[in-house]
Structure 1
Amino acid sequence: MEFSNYLPLPLRGDHTIFYYLLLVVLAAQILHSLSVGVLFFGKSSGDKRSNYCYGALLISFGLTLLHYWLVLAGVYERYPSLYFIPIYYTLAIPVLLFYHVKLSLYPQYQLRRSDLKHMILPIGQFVFFVFMFFSSMDFKAHYGRQFFNPFYGALEQGLFLTSFFAYLYFARRYVVQKRKNLRNKIELRRVFYARKLLQVAFYVFCIHTFFVLSDFISYQFWDINLRSVRVFAALGILSFAGILFWLGVYGFQILLWGRKVLNEG
């Protein structure tokens, strides 16, 4: 048993109104995050590198949720050749969130070679999925999702959980440091919004972590598969979508009145 990806398997064959409603809700969230993410690449105000990181964050998160949606809808079962299509970017999400906060608070920061170490796992995950996507079906079946696979498996889910909390902590340290050295009201507003972004993201991610660990622990110690419980499975994937919902809402607000509120030149 692996750390669950929270694909509500018992819902896939149950064509009730709740099943279709879940698909619609997830699809709406995917479209929203992708559209807002693309708009961040055209955002003229603020630090462009920070904008690019947040745009890439929303797109990466949206594509990862699309991966879950395709499994939930049974698309991979009907078209197995699409399995391992490179749209799964869990390991890039924490890094992009961290650099968005860091560069928005410290736009004068110059990226160094040492920053490349943060991209090792995200790039490795992308290369893994590209390689697997073009591999044979037999190879995918034998070497695809494995327990100790750092890019797609139990270890990957563990890395996603721990790295998300770790990068939230690192980003919060920059917020605290900036708060101690405020020079004007503009920086105060930026610190306020960055703090609010991280604070809500932390609470929502804690909810998702609860579902992931509950399923893992219950199976390992009591041989109970909580993913077979429809309500638990649906809430599990919605908890993941809830993180993206908050990031999308925050991003949409920044797009609407970011220049005015944050005085971005």
Structure 2
Amino acid sequence: MGSGLFKKPWREVSEKGKDNLKFVKSYQPQNKQVKHLRILLHGPVCAGKSCFINSVDSVLKGRPACRAQTDASYAGRSFTKKYQTFDFTKSPGAKYSFVFNDIMGFEQDSDSGVPVEDIKLALRGHVIEGYKFDPYKELMEGDDGFNSDPTLEDKVHVLVCVVPADTVSRLSDEMVKKIREVRLAASELGIPQLAILTRVDEACPEVKEDTSNIYKSKYLKEQVDRYHQRLGLPMNCIFLVKNYSDEIASNRGMNAAILCALRQMLCFGEDFLEN
């Protein structure tokens, strides 16, 4: 576990928190073919995908929220089984202009967890809402869960890999292979990609003590470097986040880091829709 802080944060997020929230609240896709920018979360089981959706909801509501179901007792197994879309309420009758898709997680074995081919289909909009993933059978054309005629709205506009910061160095070769395979498929489709490293408080005692230290932590910077080297993602596409879990009040340091990542997702997705 890491220790040690830089004097200054290596990425400044706190002072931009209000600007980022304003940007997120006012964001509208310029492409009139879509009402919502679609962000797909993928990664190992228990990485915090569903928790991140709840954390975004918490930031937007100004209080801890819990819509995406999570279960800590499912260690090593995916609690999320279905392809599920989450939107966010801005005011009565009005929604934010982006949605998240949550999916079953990758498991360490090659034949368990969500099939890589199913994620590739999701990228192209072929997986319908509510489809229940089967680790032992890939979704095929003609199946009940297959959308044979996806619109631009159905397709994924941003792909985000979620990995716990304290496990980056321990990702198995099999897990890295799965993540890279999905990344390659997204690249071929022109879909932009980001990564979120979660559980930063468990990885670094200084962050556990004060969440505003997220981007000052030397250990967490090392994990970002390591993820960059293993998965090939540029450094400015990798973000650190502390998800809401045991908090009962809003936290400014956590919010700033979440909003920094969210704004970049929306910007990258907007670039994709422009093309």
TM-score of the aligned structures, taking structure 1 as reference length:
0.35
Q: Which has the higher strand share?
A: 2
Higher helix residue share: 1
TM-score by length of 2: 0.34
Q: Max radius of gyration: which structure?
A: 1
